[in-house]
Amino acid sequence: MSVKIRPYTKRGRSGWEVDILLKMPNGDVHRERVKSPVTSKSGSKFWGEQREAEILRRGPVPTLPEKKSVPTLKEFEPKFMSYSETNNKPSTVCAKKVALRVHLLPYFGDMALDRITPAEIEPFKALKLKEGQKPKSINNHLTILRKLLNLAAEWGVVGHAPRVKPLRVDAQAVNFLTFEEEARFLAATPAEWQPMVFVALKTGLRVGELLALKWEDVDLVSCRIVVRRTLWQDQEGSPKGGRNREVPLSDGALSVLKAHQAATRLKSPYVFCDAMGKRLTHNQVTPLVPRICTKAGLPKRLTFHDLRHTFASHLVMRGVTLRAVQELLGHAGISMTLRYAHLSPNVTRDAVRLLDQKTASKFGDMLETAH
């Protein structure tokens, strides 16, 4: 009789394999290899010996492991949200809650996680398109579903996570002010809002980053802003992407901030605040840009976020590389920045012209010599 224990690894999950080899009373040799239900080596050895005794007593009746039930999406959702609340920003957690409650749970809630396959996901996409949802919004919901299924696979709740294929999304043009429109826009901006609006146009900061900006983040000597936080639903947290970034100040932005600091008599830690020194809110600044557009006689109805688009667009139109624009905007990847690529149509032409700089004159001399 023999019971051996070996390490067991399958699909990333490890444990112990019990190898039982024994001779039965009738002379037959019985061998059985099973994964131990016990996690420790010594415990697996003991379990194997008990299993061996049972085989001798009752015969080689196979012991089938009890099939583990897979939870439904509705049952796993609380664990997923608990994980998200620990690892994500409040704004991300809120977006997940809404997407799950409104879109994912009504459709997939009663399905076991291992039953959510590409064949089940495709009808969901078709249904949401029929309901009038935008492809980009549907992709956001699919991203949350993918992360939930990946977490279930990582925790061993399911064997593997299915591929969640997003919908194709056409590139959308961004709204921004032309150079001429920017001048009209600034001229129509009320005096009390001019510092904030000008800094937004010349730094590309998100509106939440502007609202949470403190004087300790502004270095008027080295001419830079360090973006350390953002505001969302009256909560300050880390900026998008979870990391700080530095944004250099142009001469114009530096002059405006110096004048704004000198004119501010309030002892407020915030760069942009109300008359009482309190931090501004999204509700206070949201209607500002559309009103200025109307006052300036512009046909466009832009939002505060479009001032960020204006900053990026003007940089690209002035010949700044997309990689530099990516760093200034704080984009995690270049894909988001590529939306501005069409604004620099001469970049590729100028690039190929560089090939001729060292060879054109020599080639011309060769032609003259040949003739």
* Catalytic residue set: 206, 240, 305, 308, 331, 340
Q: Report the alpha-carbon distance of residue 173 to residue 127 in Å, rounded.
A: 26
Q: How many CB atoms lie within 10 A of CB 296?
A: 18
Tell me if 41 sits within 8 A of 6, measured CB to CB.
Answer: no
Query: For the chain, first and last CA: distance in Å?
Result: 99
SS3 74: helix
Give the three-state DSSP class for 139: helix
Q: Which residues pair with 211 in a beta bridge?
A: none
| Whole-angstrom distance, CA of residue 62 vs CA of residue 281 | 67
Q: Supply the DSSP symbol for 286.
A: T
In 63-127, beta strands by DSSP E: none
Residue found under tokens 């620990």: 86
CA 227 to CA 225: how far, in whole Å?
A: 6
Tell me the three-class secondary structure of 288-321, residue by residue. HHHHHHHHHCCCCCCCCHHHHHHHHHHHHHCCCC
Give me the residue label for tokens 């510092």.
195
Tell me the sheet residues that pair with 112.
72
Cα distance between residue 103 and residue 97, in whole Å? 10
Dist CA 209 CA 226 (whole Å):
10
Contact 211, 280 (CB under 8 A): yes
| Cross-strand partners of 248 | 224
Helix (H) or strand (E) holding 224: strand 224-227
Q: Residue 63 in contact with residue 53, Cβ under 8 Å?
A: no
